[in-house]
Amino acid sequence: MVSTVANVFDSSIAPKPFLKWAGGKTQLIKQISQFLPKELNNGSIKKYVEPFIGGGALFFWLAHNYQIKQLFISDINTDLVLAYKTIQYNVEELIELLLDFETKYLSLNQNERSKYFYHIRNNFNYQRNQIDLVKYHEFWIERTAQMIFLNKTCFNGLFRVNSKGEFNVPVGKYKKPSLCNPENLKVIANILQRTEIIQGDFSKCEDFVDRNTLVYFDPPYRPISKTSNFTSYSHQTFDDYQQLRLHQFFKKLDKKNAFILMSNSDPKNHNIDDDFFEKLYSGYPIEKVKASRFINSNSSKRSQINELLIMNYSIQVN
């Protein structure tokens, strides 16, 4: 693998997502880990696949805690995939640029910060069609640094784009945002050395999956109503048609005897009669775990809601 990854990194550091991502699973790892297949412990699971990678909370946790030989991650979001590939290829230069951005930003007053933010945002949007994910280019570093900068300094720290694919979150008011934790990025870069990173639809992982593979699906939440798409990460929504496609794909990988785990927000949180997932995945074990989440775009309040975990294997909860 082509990389200038730091040879010196502290493997005792538990890696954490380098981006704040809508639907991120950091808070749920402990609960999800109770429903992982026991074959992870005896080494018979040799591959891990996460085709809706987002911020990668579970991916980093698993890669750090288990000896899994081959890792595969993908996402439809081109900028997100570019960020993972940049860290894989040249984490050192990325860290340097992020630290430059951070020093500059922290030296500015609020008014200047706002101008700087919108300058970077315009630049980021202007260059959005120039990404070549195949061939490494210096541009990867600049764009990834801009993306991380926007994610860490924007309002609520969300990556959200409009229908034209433009990042449209306004500036935030964090006093001392940290753009980069160099040690964390180096540990992540090290994990990514044994990771295949692909941009595209979830179905692209099919050939990688076999009977020794654990697949974790964490698709975008099923929209509650036509106006509830405030968490959209890309301009395509993950509607019921997409959920049906994913269900077909789940069954296909089930036939390959892979271990499959899927997260979904429970539609019953909003409509007690909505049994969409129970019907779709009838015959498969479905567990409920509690998640703490912002319930709508205007609310600053968190509330406890149920999250579904759907599996194709049986579990003994620890």
Residues near ligand SAM (CB under 6 A): 21, 23-25, 51-52, 54-57, 75-77, 201-202, 218-220, 233-234, 238
Q: What residue type is assigned to position 124 of the chain?
A: F
Nearer to ligand SAM by Cβ, of 97 and 191: the residue is 191
For the bound state, the minimum distance from the C-beta of residue 251 to ligand SAM, rounded and expressed in Å, comes to: 17
Nearer to ligand SAM by Cβ, of 104 and 235: the residue is 235
Whole-number Å distance between alpha carbons of 89 and 2:
6
For the bound state, the minimum distance from the C-beta of residue 245 to ligand SAM, rounded and expressed in Å, comes to: 8
Nearer to ligand SAM by Cβ, of 23 and 172: the residue is 23
Nearer to ligand SAM by Cβ, of 93 and 201: the residue is 201
For the bound state, the minimum distance from the C-beta of residue 22 to ligand SAM, rounded and expressed in Å, comes to: 7
Whole-number Å distance between alpha carbons of 51 and 214:
11
CA trace torsion 16, 18, 23, 29 (10° rounding): 0
For the bound state, the minimum distance from the C-beta of residue 159 to ligand SAM, rounded and expressed in Å, comes to: 8
For the bound state, the minimum distance from the C-beta of residue 130 to ligand SAM, rounded and expressed in Å, comes to: 20
For the bound state, the minimum distance from the C-beta of residue 96 to ligand SAM, rounded and expressed in Å, comes to: 26
Residue nearest to ligand SAM (CB): 54
Cβ contacts of residue 169 below 8 Å, gap of 6+? 150, 154, 155, 156, 158, 159, 160
Nearer to ligand SAM by Cβ, of 120 and 246: the residue is 246
Whole-number Å distance between alpha carbons of 143 and 79:
8
Whole-number Å distance between alpha carbons of 177 and 192:
25
Nearer to ligand SAM by Cβ, of 97 and 215: the residue is 215
Give the position of tokens 């890696």: 15
Nearer to ligand SAM by Cβ, of 55 and 267: the residue is 55
For the bound state, the minimum distance from the C-beta of residue 53 to ligand SAM, rounded and expressed in Å, comes to: 6
